[in-house]
Every structure is written in C-alpha cells, then in structure tokens.
Structure 1
Amino acid sequence: MFLIRQQDIMPAAGAGQPMAAEWGNMIMITRRILGASALATAAIRPAGAQDSTIRFLVPYAAGGGQDISARLLAEPLRAALGQTVIVENRSGASGMIAAQALAQAAPDGNTIMLGGAGETAVNQHIFHGRMAYDPIRDLRPVMIVVKVPNVLMGYPQAAFSTVEGLVTHARANPGRLSYSSSGIANPQHLAGELLNYLARINTVHVPYRGSGQAVLDIASGQVQFGYNSLASGLPLIREGRIRAIAVTSRERMPQLPDVPSVSEYAPLAAYELVNFFGVFAPAATPDPIMQRLHAAVAGAMAAPELRARFEAQGLLVQSMTLAQSRAFVVTEAEKFGRIVNAAKITVEG
C-alpha cells in the first residue's frame, strides 16, 4: 500500500505547491506576459460592456503555470465578452478551495475557473469524503485549452537510455529503481505509477516539495529517473546533466522533436499521462451561456500569437468542443482513479 503523510514528503529548496512549483524556472521569462495581461485585472469597463464582472478563479498562487495561463487568457476574454475579467488566486487544499468556490457560485457565467487535473479529475480519488464538491457533478468544462505533458528524465550514467531499456532494467531489479516527482498524487507521480502498471514493473516513488530538487537529484544520481515539466528540466537537458528519455503525451513535443513518446514503445502503446488546463463553470450554467463562453475561449486560443505563447512553455494547445471537453475530463478522471486504486495511493493530513 502506498501511504505517505504530507509531512513525510522530502524537503527541497524553494518549496511550493506541487502542481505549480514546477513552473518556477519560467517565472522570469513570463514577467512580460504577466505585465501585458495586467489590463485584465483593471477595473476599466470597455464600451458596450455588461454591468457584471467575471471572476476568473485560479486554484494556485500567482506565478505558477495555471496563473500564467489564466492571465494570458484574461485579456482576450475581456475583449470577446465585453466584460471586465479579474484573475483571482484562491490557492490551498490541493486546488479544492477554488474548485469548491466555483461549484457554489451562481451559474450565470460570471465566475469561471482555470482548472487542472488535480482539482477536476484526481482529488476525488484521493480525498474521498473530505471534499465538499464532486468535480464531475458540480463543475462543467467550457473548454480544455491545453494538455501539459511531462518529460521522463533519466540519470545520464544510468544503465538505460530508452523506455525499453528502463523497463528491462526494472524487471531485472524489482524495487531497486527509484523515480522522483514534485509531489504526491499529481500527474507526475501518477505518470510513474501508470508505467509501473502497464509495464508490470516495480519502481519506487520519491516525492519532493516542488520540482527543483526533484530534477537535481536525477542529475546527481540520487534517483535513477523522474517525471517533470519541460520548463523545469530543459536547462539541465541542454547541459547534458540529465537525459530526456521520453515524453508522457502521445504527441512528441516541438521543443524536443527527437525525444519519443512513451507510447512509441510498442508494448506501452496505451500509455498517456498528462496534466491539463481547462476553463470550467458551475454545473448548472445554462447552455446559451456555456456556448457564449466557449466561443470566447475558442476564439482566444485560435489567435496565433496567444497559441505561440502557450506552445513556448511546452503546452499542447487543444481545440475541443463543449462535448469533447466534458468527455475528456470524465475519461481522464476514470483513468486517474484506476491508477490511484491500482497503486493504493492515500494521503493523510
């Protein structure tokens, strides 16, 4: 059984919330983005706008991946909807504070959230009765805007350099290989558990508070491999201090065109494990409002400049319909549930 208390997570320099801390290396790069999007939080109503203001909830602190993405979206949404859009960071409880606030908000289109996998598809399998909302029942996806792949990174002097080599080595050394991630029960951790399950291997998860030390310990050989974002690992990959073995999405990443996906190894063709960011509304939001919101989000994501900004951060831009977004979240939640149950993952405290 995989049982870890929150206080047992390995400490790391610059600790932060797991799902967003991995973006720390991108903060300096994105200062211009944050500055350019500051107008989205200004209380200036454009001509012809409605009297209402849209609260755009972000489940994590300012400067993280979801916050940056929300601020990128806020200004084009303001222009498309003719309403002031205020990004509101409601961090805490693994994203559940913001998600619960959304679930309880009036279904009038004036409160939305940029949600990720944790608060919309994973937490219900971890926290069970401790949640005051059901993300599938109480939240409604407007549109999934990006998939967030992770990179399977390896120690350069390890006995393997490919997915096939890793699987072969792990089978020959059950329980002796360890992998790092930026926390417990996040998509990086679950990426490792999915590999364990599909490849029928036993590798040991070593959780950290954030991605910084998790990546450095791959480079030093403290762990043999790990899963992390492109942003957190790319500098060390370029320096040759860690090896990019594979990516966890089905598609290769434009920034790493020579690095295969895990699923390209034929026995693991079913493998895909990504985080995602999507715009969500309260479940009871009427269809006409949902359609209006979807049109605004889809129009924003279709703009070449905005698309390029997302892609520059290693994100895979999506163009899902309302129905496709709903089906995607349901499918991902079911998949995460199977992984959590198979690995017997629980979190105390």
Structure 2
Amino acid sequence: MARRAPSARIPRREVLALGAGLTLPALARAQSGRFPDRPIRLVVPFGAGGNLDTLARLLTPGMAERLGQPVVIENRAGAGGNLGTELVARAQPDGYSLLLGSNGGLTINPLIMERVPYDPARDLLPVALCFRTPNVLVASRKLPVATLAEFIAYAKAKPGQVQCGSAGSGTSNHLMIELLNAATGIGLVHVPYRASGAATPDLLSGVLPASMEQITIALPLHRDGQLRIIGIGLPERSPLLPEVPTFAEVGVPDGGLVSFIGILVPTGTPERVIGQLRDAIAGALADPALRARVEETGSLVAGAEAATPAGFGALLRREADLSRRAAAAAGMLVR
C-alpha cells in the first residue's frame, strides 16, 4: 500500500491567525512587514467643508495612488481642534492613523488652554508640511486707505480707536493682530467674531474698518473689488498677490503667524513608515494640477524642504515661539 505524502505543518501562530479571519496572503504581508496593507485614515480635526477639509480632499487621492491603499478622511471636530488631535496622539503608532494638523491643536491651544489632554511635542511626530494659508489684513472700502503704510499711519493717528476683527479670541488671526500691534505700535482694538468670514458683512458696510482673515475667505472679495487686502502674513510676498506687502516688511518677525497644514503621526511610528508617508505626500504635492487647484483657494503648496519631517518640525517650533509671544501680549498665556 502506497504511503500518503506527509502534509506540510502550519505553525500554530498561523493557525490562530487564520482562525481570526486572516487569509494566507494577508498573513504573509503582515509577517513581511509590508506597509500599507489596508486603508489609512486621515483625521481632520474640524468639520466638513472648511479649509482643512477642502485641502485634505485635494491631497488624499494622490497619496492613495502612491501608497496603493485608500486614504480615508475622518472629520473629528471639537474643542478647537483638540479632539481630533488627541485621537491621533493616542492611536497605535503604526502609520494607519494620520493627523492633518494646524495651528490650533498644535501651537496655540497648548499655550492658552488650562487643560490640553496631549503634548504635541511628546505625542506626535511631524511627517510633512503640506500647505500654508496666509493670514491677511483686509480693509473696508469705506476706509480712506489703499495700502498697508497708509493703514498704519491712519491707525497711529487714532490710537486705540481703530477696530480689527478676527475669527475669535485665541485664533491665529487674533494672535496675528497682536504681533502686528507689537511690531508697529498701532494699537488696533481686537473684535472677536464667531468664525472665519463672520466679519464680512460689517466690513462691507463699513461698520468694521478692518479684519484679519484667512486668505481663502478674503481673496474672492478682494478680486471682486468689494474689500481690499493690504497686508499678508508671510516672510516673502505671495505669488498670488505680489503687489501686497508682507507683515515682515513692517517689522513682524518672519512675517508673523501663518495657518499651516501638515501631516503628523503618533510618536513611536517606525521611521520606515514615516519615510513612505513622506514620499507619498511629496509625490502628491508635486502634481501641477493639485498645485493649481490649491492656489485657486488662496493657499500655497509647501516647498520640498518643508515637506519633510525636519522641515515641518522647524516650522512647528517657529510657530510655537511666535504664538507664545503673541499670547503673552494678549494676556492669554497660561503655560
């Protein structure tokens, strides 16, 4: 009688894995350490439809194409960006939970809020800066000024009388006003509104003479001639508005705060995984079609040097330092 050929033995850990629902190909990928082998989530710590969400939806298709897996956006709004930021800070450091981080949750809230349930420097690692959305000083057409120099002279002639709106106390718009005051001595009176763009009706009517806004809100109104952008928060002039002077030109360090948008991962994520994510982001950002669509919104795509862990880390440290100075000037610093 012929002997039956001995069957290959499957190691016990593989039997357990198969029992848990893994297929042999999936198990082989897991054992080989391949990344990614399943969809990745990108947490946006604000609601759908805002600037971060819009830019996330422009970025993720190119990332997914290069990673070979879907990149799924998850909006987790709350606590000024803290809720979504904490979610990623506490996630498994495996590269499958990413944060699309910005000023609030990373460089402002930890300075002005008594209790923030994470430490950005300890709990998160930068992967790449993706976009910059400059703050701009917008003047009402009812105001008798056409340039930043004229506005500064006008405000100096009326110390403590010229109001300037923002998206709310403690926002990057508000802190930019404080930096401009400190650099020029013009003494603008801060008027907090409930959100970005909420000051627009008062600007149009002339009730409010000026406001610090994100460029995405102000640019269409500037182009239509309804409002006038007279200053921009960048270290260099924007290619979108080359005629508009920067706040650096009137003494604000580095041009002041910029609303930055970049990707971070939980501390402990392997360097190999961070490198793959960085390469996928850089590839997506290099697409001319993406750049054109981003610039249509008024934002700018990060350069190659900034779209790295080191480049993004340097920007985070700079923004935290400027935010600390501005929060101290506003009397909001708690730590």
Q: Does 1:263 align with 2:253?
A: no
Residues 113-142 of structure 1: CA deviation (Å, up to 9, x unaligned): 1111111111101113x1110112111110
Q: What is the match of residue 5 of structure 1?
A: none
Q: 2: CA distance between counterparts of 1:77 and 1:270? A: 31
Q: What is the match of residue 117 of structure 1?
A: 103
Deviation at 1:277, TM superposition (A): 0.3
Q: 2: CA distance between counterparts of 1:340 and 1:242? A: 28
User: RMSD between aligned alpha carbons?
Assistant: 2.1
Q: Which runs of 5+ in 1 are unaligned?
A: 1-47
Q: Which amino acid aligns with 1:292?
A: Q
Q: What is the match of residue 176 of structure 2?
A: 191
Q: 1: CA distance between counterparts of 2:309 and 2:178? A: 30
Work out which of the residue numbers 187, 199, 202 in structure 2 matches 1:214: 199
Larger radius of gyration, structure 1 or 2? 2
Deviation at 1:209, TM superposition (A): 1.4
Work out which of the residue numbers 289, 292, 309 in structure 2 matches 1:305: 289
Q: What is the match of residue 315 of structure 2?
A: 328
Q: Does 1:166 align with 2:151?
A: yes
Deviation at 1:300, TM superposition (A): 0.8
8 Å contact kept, 1:151–1:247? yes
Q: 1: CA distance between counterparts of 2:36 and 2:220? A: 46
Residues 259-318 of structure 1: CA deviation (Å, up to 9, x unaligned): 2222234x4464322101001101221211111111111111111111211121111111
Q: 2: CA distance between counterparts of 1:111 and 1:65? A: 20
Q: Which amino acid aligns with 1:333?
A: A
SS of the residue 2:125 aligns to: strand
Q: TM-score normalised to the size of structure 1?
A: 0.80
Residues 229-273 of structure 1: CA deviation (Å, up to 9, x unaligned): 2332234323433222121112333332322222234x4464322
Q: What is the match of residue 40 of structure 1?
A: none
Aligned-residue sequence identity (percent) comes to 40
Q: 1: CA distance between counterparts of 2:264 and 2:256? A: 23
SS of the residue 1:148 aligns to: strand
Q: 2: CA distance between counterparts of 1:68 and 1:235? A: 16
Q: Which amino acid aligns with 2:41?
A: R
Q: TM-score normalised to the size of structure 2?
A: 0.83
Work out which of the residue numbers 290, 304, 308 in structure 1 matches 2:274: 290
Q: Which amino acid aligns with 1:174?
A: P
Q: 2: CA distance between counterparts of 1:74 and 1:237? A: 30
Q: 2: CA distance between counterparts of 1:160 and 1:66? A: 32
8 Å contact kept, 1:60–1:89? yes
Q: Does 1:127 align with 2:113?
A: yes
Deviation at 1:159, TM superposition (A): 3.9
Work out which of the residue numbers 303, 313, 329 in structure 2 matches 1:342: 329
Q: 1: CA distance between counterparts of 2:254 and 2:274? A: 32
Q: Which amino acid aligns with 1:110?
A: Y
Q: Which amino acid aligns with 2:127?
A: V
Q: 1: CA distance between counterparts of 2:333 and 2:35? A: 47
SS of the residue 1:183 aligns to: coil
Q: 2: CA distance between counterparts of 1:324 and 1:228? A: 26
Q: Which amino acid aligns with 2:277?
A: L
Q: 2: CA distance between counterparts of 1:200 and 1:331? A: 23
8 Å contact kept, 1:179–1:227? yes
Q: What is the match of residue 81 of structure 1?
A: 67
SS of the residue 2:199 aligns to: helix
8 Å contact kept, 1:176–1:204? yes
Deviation at 1:335, TM superposition (A): 1.1
Q: 2: CA distance between counterparts of 1:63 and 1:233? A: 17
Q: What is the match of residue 136 of structure 1?
A: 121
8 Å contact kept, 1:180–1:227? yes
SS of the residue 2:245 aligns to: coil
SS of the residue 1:345 aligns to: coil
Q: Which runs of 5+ in 2 are unaligned?
A: 1-33
Q: 1: CA distance between counterparts of 2:112 and 2:174? A: 13
Q: What is the match of residue 254 of structure 1?
A: 239
Q: Which amino acid aligns with 2:48?
A: A
SS of the residue 1:149 aligns to: strand
SS of the residue 2:170 aligns to: coil
Q: What is the match of residue 137 of structure 2?
A: 152
SS of the residue 1:76 aligns to: helix
Q: Structure 1 residues 268, 163: closer, same or farther in 2, change over 3 A?
A: farther
